[in-house]
Amino acid sequence: MLIRSIVLAIYVAAAMPAHAGGDDYDASNDVKGQGPAYFGFVRDARGSPVVDAQVMLQPKKGKPMALKSNVLGVYRGHISKDVLPDDVQISCVKTGYKQIKINRRTPPGGNAMFIETECTMQRL
């Protein structure tokens, strides 16, 4: 009976999708009816996650969107589908830190639906 329970538990676990960091985010289903997905990491200069940092998405026209990094330093969100990704400036803010670098991994000029940006911050 114990072996049957273990086999059943393994079967159920294998049937569920696994995501890096334990996150249940499914990017392939994230854009239905919405604009491009903006996502990435907020890290310190050593590469450690910066928790609860505000990631500001500021379009040239329209209102800004404030996102928050989670315990892994990950953030994600959308701006209106009417806003072009090249018209969005991304910055990171957290008390006790200053932003030292933004690295946009999705090249500008395309029609990508997933815009990945890494924000590096330094403790003051």
Residue 115's φ and ψ, nearest 5 degrees, are -110, 110
Residue pLDDT, tens place only, 50-79: 999 999 999 998 888 999 999 999 999 988
Q: What domains can be seen in the chain, in order of their start residue?
A: 34-123 (2.60.40.1120)
Q: Which of 22-36, 41-55, 77-91 is modeled with the greatest confidence?
A: 41-55
pTM of the model: 0.70
The mean predicted confidence, pLDDT, of the chain is 78
Secondary structure percentages of the chain, helix, strand, coil, to 5: 20, 40, 45
